[in-house]
Each structure stands twice: as C-alpha cells, then as structure tokens.
Amino acid sequence: MSQYAMVIDLNRCVGCHACAMACRAEWQVPAKEGYRRNWVKRLGPADGGSGLSFTFYPGLCNHCDRPACTQVCPADPVEKTFKDPKTGATKTMTVPATWKDPFNGSVQIDKERCQGCGACADACPYGARYVNETPDGPKADKCTFCVERLAQGLKPACVQTCIADARIFGDLDDPNSEVAKYVKNGAIRLESAAVKIGPNVRYFGKKKDLALLDATCTPKAMPEASLDRRKALAQLMAPAVKKAKNLGLLGLAGALLVKGAQEGQDEE
C-alpha cells in the first residue's frame, strides 16, 4: 500500500507559475476562467499572526484520505479491479465515476462514465475540481498526480517543470521518502476544525508564511449549498444521459444537464 503525496516547499517557491503552465500544456486544459488543474496564488504582504509575510499558495487536488468528491458522485457504481504495479496484488471495488485508488491513494475520474453534473466539484472544499466542456459533453477534471506519467517512470509535469525544486512528490507511507521526511519536519495540511478529510498535499516553510497560508487558504466549512439539488438532478437525468450516449448525443445531454444544475444554483 502507498499514499502518493506532494509537499510544496514555500521557502523555495518563487511564484513563477511554471508548474501551472506545464500542467495546462500537458493535459490540454482550456484557457478559460476557472479551468485549471493547479494554480499559484500570491499571498500578502500581510500579517498572518506570526509576522509580516509574502508567500504563495500553489494548489491542486489534495487526493484526500476521505475525499468528499467520491461520496457524492451520482453515476451508477460498477465493479472495478485495481492492481498494485509493485506487487501484482489486485482488489475489486464497487465505485462510481470517481474513486480513491486502494493501492496508491490517488483520486481519479472515469471520464467515460462521468455525467458532468458537477456534484464532485461542488463537494470539494478546496475548489480543486472543475467541469470541462469536451466533445463528449461536460466532464469533471482535476489533478491526477499525473499517474499516466508515473506509469512511464516520469515525474508529475508540475514537479518536473518547477525551476526551484519546490515541489516534492513521493510515497507518504515510505518513511525514507522525501515527502515523509518533510512531514516529519513539520509540513502542514490545510485543515480546519470543520474540514478534516486528510489532504495529501502539504506545505513547508517559515512559521509566518505557513500562518498566512493557513489563515487565508484553509477552508473553514464543508460545502453544502446546492449539493443535494445537483446530485438529485444528476440522478434524475441519468437515464436520459445514458440514452443520449447510445444515440451519440451525449454532448447535448451533458450540456443540458450542467445548464439545468447551474440554473438551479442561480435560483438560490
């Protein structure tokens, strides 16, 4: 068993956005507002409670221990067999269109079965998902820890591109890994009393920088507004989406589904 994790070293990050640009290029993320798999936000100058700080918030999907996104996906669950590339061991689980891998701990999306309803994006307290318009209709998208690149022996695109080596990727369950050593030395999770879902992206840096990051970017509540409505709408539309897919009209059905969900949000 492994738990893929990433540590962002704020002492090294220069806010150049090379990581975000590399991710966008690698995965062909459209250059539209709100469409991103990772991001870099400038914080400060401000007092986070431990002195004047100026730092950055490089964010991405946290591949959480208890991901809220996987719990709300309305897609019909199917059996899926996972295989550990290290040992060859397999495990069969019943999963919706998004799940947490039992062997590497990453959270993934089945784009074939995703209905594009946005329930998972609504459920994420970190805002790490978005709904992408594709030729096959709307599909949820986010950071995957570049598992496709990992399978080829490569590093995640953002890690490989970082000019300051501020992104450290590895197996948190391996005590000899760099990420495990960073955690032992004080790398923090962005968690609050109300949001404790075990993010596996952590941050390391000066006390004042971590204080500003925590005060500014840690979610203080789990999302609730419109989530039940969007999930219910997706379940209601599921038969129509399935029929439309069989007729080659999934793009239209998916677009109508997302449009209806967005209109429902606007009514609140």
> What's the pLDDT tens digit per position in 26-85?
999 999 999 999 999 999 999 878 889 999 999 999 999 999 999 999 999 999 999 998
The rounded Cα 143 to chain-centroid distance in angstroms is: 5
* SS3 label, residue 19: helix
Q: Which of the listed ranges 46-55, 140-149, 250-259 does the model predict with the highest average pLDDT?
A: 140-149
| Per-residue pLDDT at 265 exceeds 50 | no
CATH code for residues 67-100+109-142+224-268: 3.30.70.20
**Under 8 Å between Cβ of 73 and 97:** yes
**Under 8 Å between Cβ of 15 and 171:** no
pLDDT at residue 226, as a whole number: 53
| Per-residue pLDDT at 98 exceeds 50 | yes
Q: Which CATH class is domain 1-63+146-222?
A: alpha beta
Find where tokens 């429902």 sit.
264
Instruction: Tell me what the pLDDT averaged over the chain comes to.
Output: 89
Phi-psi region at 23: left, alpha or beta (left = phi > 0; alpha = psi -120 to 50):
alpha
* Distances in whole angstroms, Cα of residue 99 to Cα of each of 44, 50, 77, 103: 36, 38, 10, 12
250 pLDDT band, cuts 50/70/90, is: low
Residues of the chain with CATH 3.30.70.20: 1-63+146-222, 67-100+109-142+224-268
